[in-house]
């Protein structure tokens, strides 16, 4: 089964950080988080996350980390760093 976009992106990010087994690591992380099945197919949760794209996922992570103080729309995405900051 071909890799999902979310798995490809995580693999690239891990490889850029110097992880030699980035593909295995990315697969394991996404399986543990319930984003993909052990065979690599997207779960329903994974389909939602992949549809968000990198920007949407980063904003969603920040909003969750704010414990309800901010909404995803309160953030601005920086694609160079894959991070967000409040508007």
Q: Is the pLDDT of residue 2 over 80?
A: no
Domain ranges of the chain: 5-86
Is-contact 64 75, C-beta < 8 A? no
R_g over Cα of the chain: 14
Distance, in Å, from the CA atom of 43 to the CA atom of 35, rounded to the nearest integer, reads 6
Average pLDDT rounded to a whole number, residues 26-34: 97
pTM for the predicted model, two decimal places: 0.82
Q: What is the pLDDT of residues 41-79, one digit of tens each?
A: 999 999 999 999 999 999 999 999 999 999 999 999 999
Q: Classify residue 40 as exposed, middle or buried by CB count within 10 Å of its CB (0-12, 13-18, 19+).
A: middle
What per-residue confidence (pLDDT) applies to 3?
Answer: 84
Q: What is the pLDDT of residues 14-28, one digit of tens each?
A: 999 999 999 999 999
């Amino acid at each position: 089964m071909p890799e999902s976009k979310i798995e490809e992106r995580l693999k690239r990010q891990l490889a850029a950080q110097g992880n030699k087994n980035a593909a295995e690591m990315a697969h394991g992380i996404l399986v543990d988080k319930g984003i993909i099945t052990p065979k690599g197919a997207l779960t329903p949760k994974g389909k939602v996350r992949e549809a968000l794209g990198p920007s949407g996922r980063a904003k969603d992570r920040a909003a969750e980390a704010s414990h309800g103080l901010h909404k995803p729309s309160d953030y601005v995405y920086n694609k160079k760093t894959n991070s967000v900051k409040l508007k």
